[in-house]
Structure 1
């Protein structure tokens, strides 16, 4: 639930506060105050299926169909899913994956320690990525992500939309 809010709202603390206040009003008084992904999806409008977190999972397992469905959803909802919020998440995944390649202990706990992760659920995408992406491909993808970021800001790009840039990047990542 926290990851969904972070992916969707970014670092806008006033917006986060407003959304959490809205959820606090909805929760029953005597029930435990627990924010779940379902509660967020129903009341804030963040899709549990179509977010940056799910995009990273699709990238990790090389699920081309799911990644492209998420990209299409992002294209239809550009204000909710701007490329400037998606690219840092993708960059972070691949830069952490590169760290995994240069970590001596590639066990689950070794990678958790190297990346500073708290839960085993977080490290699974990296372990899958190690199997699906060779180190040199990861290195090249980091460069592609940086180029896409520059193009999304107008550098050497006069006509490609953010959606086109994301689709092009996903093609490079998944093929």
Structure 2
């Protein structure tokens, strides 16, 4: 039922101010619908003072189809156009009698055939099944329908979003980001934005790697390497082991082990550098640079300095050796068939090097 125009096509047309008189947006990816509504609001009006008088937002639970037609039929005030957005269009309040329902349906059909040129009408709904779409008033909207189903290629979506923030992600970074976050457009956009802010000020090419993803995106998950870091820094073997198992359960064995080993290799490498007298004499900005911390990462410098007091140089070197051994197993050089055992052994070696 939906038209084939992509999000990008719609976005381009709106930015060029080529507006349709009526849009029906629906589907699982409500985030994309919200983006388009925001884009319309930013482009329909020439000045901010036009918005207050000419932007109307209705909610389906509170209004009938007749209310929608009535609002869409109003003329703009001190502006060339009006924008009427109807949210939860799939939950419009119905009139009590079938006669009134049919009368409003006929009124709506008449409006769709001859919409007011000065009004941009946006009807927004959640995911709808085929049975629902076959019922009135949806067949009337066939020519103005745009479905936003779950994105089929999250990798391409991530690359496009990163480009908007001025960054490029390596293939491994894209793969890891998607494995951490999933395929939700809203979640992916949020994490890409966070990633871009986190890496602000990073020297060199504007390229983000899987290591950057591990450092940033992992911080937002329920069971994540950041929480595991706290348990390790507290030398709590039981909590660290349990947290690691939850990460493997949440992220999958392969991706979870990869994330843990890579993150803690970076973590203990930084602690090792902080043991060097030459580094400890540096100013905090120079120290952060030496540790490879940029933008928002600098916020965590004091935590790292605190963590460095909890581990001796020997502890850190033993941890790095254990991480190197785990990395060899991951790469198949010294293969291990049991990822859970590998991680539990790794954590025990890090926290109980003589145990």
Paired residue for 2:324? 146
Distance 1:156 1:22, change over 3 A: closer
Residue 68 of structure 1: how far off its partner (Å): 1.7
1:65 to 238, 241, 251: 238
| Deviations 1:68-109, CA, capped at 9 Å, x for gaps | 221121343352742122211110101111111111426655
Runs of 4+ in 1 over 4 A off after TM superposition: 18-21, 106-110
Q: Which structure: greater strand fraction? A: 2
CA distance in 1, matches of 2:283, 2:183: 37
1:49 to 222, 235, 245: 222
Distance 1:78 1:164, change over 3 A: farther
TM-score, with structure 2 as normaliser: 0.36
Aligned length: 149
Contact 2:233 2:307 in 1 (8 A): yes
Residue 64 of structure 1: how far off its partner (Å): 2.7
Residue 55 of structure 1: how far off its partner (Å): 1.4
Unpaired segments ≥5 residues, structure 1: 1-9, 28-33, 36-45
Name which structure has the greater RCO, CA cutoff 8 Å, separation 6+: 1
CA distance in 1, matches of 2:299, 2:235: 18
RMSD, matched Cα: 3.6
Contact 1:60 1:132 in 2 (8 A): yes
1:111 aligns with 2:273: no
CA distance in 1, matches of 2:299, 2:184: 28
TM-score, with structure 1 as normaliser: 0.66
| Deviations 1:30-75, CA, capped at 9 Å, x for gaps | xxxx87xxxxxxxxxx973311122122222323333122112134
Paired residue for 2:185? 22
CA distance in 1, matches of 2:258, 2:319: 17
